[in-house]
Structure 1
Amino acid sequence: MAKTAGRPPRSESDIAEYRSKIAKQALAIYRAEGFDAVSMRRLAKEVGCAPMTIYAHFEGKHDILRYLWADVLADMSSEIQGKLERIDAPAERLQMAAHTFVSYWVDHPDHFRLVFMSNDVTRSDVSTFVMDEETLAHFQMFSDLVQDILQNESNVKASTDTLISGMIGIALCLNTIRDYPWTYAKMMTDRLLTGIISPVDTAS
């Protein structure tokens, strides 16, 4: 019996491209109206397909959110890695990574709100995403940079966690309390780094 002609199976690259198309549309809606406005039906209308097509690529709204989180973090990490390519000194590498991290979130406040301030997200959704290996790798980068400075000291994790939480705090304040006359983000970040990089002078 002759096989019925039909649409050939799509390649992995085609599927990835379509997922990216859906996610970009979701991000556009989020930027204009907030995450509450993102729905599978709305996305299908904007993309120009049936709702079931959206479900064929994403399990649901929060699956799309996790995709966007991963995409934003990958973009942030890529920017940091690009800045580190020509820097060899451990202290300078950590400084550059920290400054780029904070600057990224301050320069992209919509990305910051998406990753760190999304509404209607369960603890389970956050936990699943945070414990993903790719997500952890974005923050492991700072642990490796701190390790290069502290060598075998036992407080690498404490120093790294303090640095990361402090950098996120700086970005949070600058993004959400804009009327307060904050000092420069670079200066605040350097203060965080002082205890790790000491005796390197980070006040300049």
Structure 2
Amino acid sequence: MARTAGRPPRSKAEIQEFRSKIGKHALEIYRAEGFAAVSMRRLAKEVGCAPMTIYAHFEGKTDILKYLWADVLRDMSNDVEKKLESVVGPRERLRSATQSFVDYWVDHPDHFRLVFMSNDVTRADVSTFMMDDDTLAHFRMFSSLIKEVHPKEHDVKMTTDTLISGMIGIALCVNTIPDYPWADATSMTEQLLTIIIA
């Protein structure tokens, strides 16, 4: 049987590496010029391939955005989990995770804007991404930590959602209204946590 011409199929690792390369270039363009400047044609030029090669790995610009969201959330979760490795005690673990979460977004304002303030994306796309189990896992970790602090808490979801919305709110204010003389983000986070675990 005659062999067909062309490149042999890429391995899963090669595909993931190429997707990562595309994502890296998309993030660089986003940081420099905003997500509106990201296009399949421009990414192809940056990566050094044909636009159709980009489409073989991503359905379109929104798919690249979802990839970047997932990558940033994974980075944030890894940061929180790494800091939790050396912390014992339920309250201390919740405190460490809460501070690490807020610190991550304050220290990475471009990541915050990408995940929480992206334009040019439909409500349906955001909803699909948010309801994905991998996405929800990044936030469920706080439910587990709250259960450790309050094992008999009846409404863990309400407590978790209040904590998450408060943490995101602190990061939002610090990142988007920097001229206001906010209290220190660490102090605000500590105050939020004191109310949550009282």
- Normalising to structure 2: TM-score of the pair? 0.97
Between the aligned partners of 1:37 and 1:90, the Cα distance in structure 2 is 45
In the alignment, structure 2 segments of 5+ residues that lack a partner are none
Question: What displacement does 1:194 show?
Answer: 1.0
Match of 1:48 in 2: 48
Counterpart amino acid of residue 197 in structure 1: I
Match of 2:196 in 1: 196
Between the aligned partners of 2:17 and 2:11, the Cα distance in structure 1 is 10
Question: What displacement does 1:24 show?
Answer: 0.4
Mapped pair 1:115 → 2:106 = no
Counterpart amino acid of residue 79 in structure 2: E
Match of 1:181 in 2: 181
Contact in 2 for aligned 1:150/1:196 (Cα 8 Å): no
Question: What displacement does 1:3 show?
Answer: 2.4
Between the aligned partners of 1:62 and 1:193, the Cα distance in structure 2 is 35
Aligned residue for 2:125, secondary structure, equals: helix
Which deviates more from structure 2 when the two are superposed, residues 20-29 or residues 153-162?
153-162
Match of 2:143 in 1: 143
In the alignment, structure 1 segments of 5+ residues that lack a partner are 199-204
Match of 1:130 in 2: 130
Mapped pair 1:31 → 2:27 = no
Match of 1:63 in 2: 63
- Please give the residue correspondences for 1:3-14 in structure 2 after superposition, counting only pairs within 5 Å: 3-14=3-14
Aligned residue for 1:76, secondary structure, equals: helix
Between the aligned partners of 1:178 and 1:92, the Cα distance in structure 2 is 29
Q: Deviations over 1:4-34 (max 9, x none)?
A: 3542211000000000000100000000000
Between the aligned partners of 1:168 and 1:160, the Cα distance in structure 2 is 12
Between the aligned partners of 2:6 and 2:70, the Cα distance in structure 1 is 34
Question: What displacement does 1:192 show?
Answer: 1.0
Give the 4+ runs in structure 1 shifted more than 4 A.
none
Which deviates more from structure 2 when the two are superposed, residues 11-20 or residues 186-195?
186-195
Between the aligned partners of 1:53 and 1:77, the Cα distance in structure 2 is 31
- RMSD (Å), alpha carbons: 0.9
- Normalising to structure 1: TM-score of the pair? 0.95
Between the aligned partners of 2:191 and 2:135, the Cα distance in structure 1 is 26
- Please give the residue correspondences for 1:157-172 in structure 2 after superposition, counting only pairs within 5 Å: 157-172=157-172
Match of 2:97 in 1: 97
Between the aligned partners of 1:41 and 1:5, the Cα distance in structure 2 is 26
Contact in 2 for aligned 1:105/1:112 (Cα 8 Å): yes
Identity over aligned residues, as a percent? 72
Between the aligned partners of 1:3 and 1:121, the Cα distance in structure 2 is 43
